[in-house]
Amino acid sequence: MVSKIHKEARQEEGKAELKVESDEEEVEICREALENAEKALENAEKKAKESNDELEKKKKWRKTVQKRFLFVAKIAAEEDNSDLDHTEESCKVCFEKFGEDDCQKAAIIPCGHQACFGFLSSLPQKSCPTCRAEFTDDKILKLFP
C-alpha cells in the first residue's frame, strides 16, 4: 500500500511538473507576445510622429506659399492699378500736373487712359501711350479739373 501511495504521489508530482512546464511555456509565449506588441507600439508611435512631422512641414509650406502668393498678388494689383495712383493729378506720360492751360488740361481717350490734351493731340500716330489702342482727334475728351 505504501508503494501504491508512493506511486500515486509520484504520478501527481509528474502531473504538477507538466502543469508547471505548460504554464511556464504559456508565460514565455505571453512574454514574447508582449515584446512583439511593445515593438509594434513603438513602430506605430514612430510612424505617427513621422506623419505628424510631415503634416507640420506641409502646413508650414502651405502657409509660405500662401504668403508668397498674397505678396505677388498684392504687387500685381499695385502694378495693375499704378495708372490709378495719380491719374487725376498729373499726366501719366510727362508727369506734369494738370492745369488750366489748354495743353495741360487732362484728357481721356476711348480706352479710358488719361494724359495731357496737348500731348494726345500732338501724337503723329494716334495710339494710347499706355495700351496702344488707336483713337482719333475727335475722340479725345477734355476733362475739366
- The distance in angstroms from the start CA to the end CA of the chain is 136
- 23 and 76 housed in the same domain: yes
Convert the pLDDT of each residue in 8-19 to its tens digit: 889 899 999 999
More confident residue, 127 or 84: 127
More confident residue, 59 or 3: 59
- 67 and 4 housed in the same domain: yes
Whole-angstrom distance, CA of residue 115 vs CA of residue 62 = 43
- 46 and 11 housed in the same domain: yes
When divided into structural domains, the chain yields a total of 2
- 108 and 38 housed in the same domain: no
Backbone phi, then psi, for 98, in 5-degree steps? -65, 140
- 5 and 67 housed in the same domain: yes
pLDDT on residue 31: 95
Contacts of 93 (CB under 8 A, 6+ apart): 115, 116, 119, 129
Whole-angstrom distance, CA of residue 6 vs CA of residue 24 = 26
pLDDT on residue 103: 59
Task: Supply the pTM of this predicted model.
Answer: 0.41
Tell me the residue range of the domain where 52 lies.
Answer: 1-85
More confident residue, 76 or 123: 123
pLDDT on residue 26: 95
Convert the pLDDT of each residue in 88-131 to its tens digit: 577 777 777 777 665 567 888 898 888 888 888 888 899 998 89
Q: Hey, CA dihedral for 26, 31, 32, 38, is it positive or negative?
A: positive
Give, in degrees to the nearest 5, the angle at Cα 37 between 35 and 40: 110
CATH classification at residue 109: 3.30.40.10
Q: How many CA atoms within 13 Å lie on the side-chain side of 118?
A: 12
- 38 and 75 housed in the same domain: yes
Q: Which triple of cell numbers denotes residue 92?
A: 501719366
Q: Kindly list the distances between the CA atom of residue 122 and the CA atoms of 103, 113, 116, 117, in Å, as whole numbers in the listed order.
A: 10, 16, 10, 8
**Whole-number average pLDDT of the chain:** 85
pLDDT band at residue 86 using 50, 70 and 90 as cut-offs: very low
